[in-house]
Amino acid sequence: MRWRVILGAALVALSLVMLRFFQLSDASLLWIGLMGGGVLIFALGSKWVLDGVQRLAEFREMWPVFSAAMGVAWLIHAVQIENYASSSVLGKMFGVMTVDATVALLHLSNVPVTASGDILAFGPPSLIGAVEVTPLCGGFLSVLMFIVAFNFVTFEVGKSLGITRLTFLLISGLVVTLMAAILRVFVVTLVGFYWGFDALELAHTYLGYALFLSVASAFWYIALTWNKRLAMPGNPSSIRSSSVS
């Protein structure tokens, strides 16, 4: 039913707007009270979209994963985990790594940039003078969200994968999540370099959502498809698994 897809997309968009306004405001009791509603409408909207769009049929089982990640995104700000991420050793380490990787990518793209701590300064013909890459840009929060989603999903599907495959999925997922965080900072700085501060601010606000959902979709699609193939009757791994149990 097309109306459910349209309404579902509107609910997803509304939930993301609510989350963004929440992140830009203080973690008041009002916003914390709205948290449940924001996650609920995101879960309902994503389920309607995935159920109603034929091309997304392979992703229909993933709406709880996205919903769990959305819940974690609200909780991160509600309990002020950003403060911990900014000041912790891990947060700072992720930030330094992101700065170094971003500078390397910018040099490969022939963008004149120099780094001083977490400040990236640009030369002509840049439309911005400098940007600050804080520890929050370093992917630490994205890694936390991935670990929560990973535990949520593999609680069920992980039973047929085994320790070795689960470890491989965890490590590869963490690497992909970090690469996505670095790619986000790289693209945002490129946008600012070529189109100015207003375009940079727009990309900084919304690119993270699009990139995170795209990367999460691709990763969990591959992971769940792999699990289905392993669980198919006649698969040697499935036979070995069932014979052992």
Helical packing angle, 63-78 and 140-157, nearest 10°: 140
pLDDT surpassing 70 at residue 228: no
Average pLDDT over residues 210-222: 75
List pLDDT tens digits, range 58-67. 677 778 777 8
**pLDDT reported for residue 233:** 56
With cut-offs at 50, 70 and 90, classify the pLDDT of residue 146.
confident
Which stretches of 135-161 are DSSP H helices?
140-157
Q: In the chain, what is the greatest distance between 2 CA atoms, to the nearest angstrom?
A: 66
Average pLDDT taken over every residue of the chain: 79
Peptide bond into 125 cis (omega under 30): yes
Q: Is the pLDDT of residue 7 over 90?
A: yes
How does residue 241 score in pLDDT terms, banded at 50, 70 and 90?
A: very low
* Residue 245, pLDDT above cutoff 50: no
**Mean pLDDT, residues 144-169:** 71
Collect all residues with Cβ–Cβ distance below 8 Å to 83 and sequence separation of at least 6. Answer: none
pLDDT-derived band of residue 26, with 50, 70 and 90 as boundaries? confident
| Separation between Cα atoms, residue 71 and residue 19, nearest integer Å | 10
Q: pLDDT, tens digit, for every residue of 68-120?
A: 778 877 777 777 776 776 677 888 888 889 999 999 999 999 999 999 988 99
Q: How confident is the model at residue 128 (pLDDT cuts 50, 70, 90)?
A: very high
Parallel, antiparallel or unpaired: strands 130-132 and 113-116 = unpaired
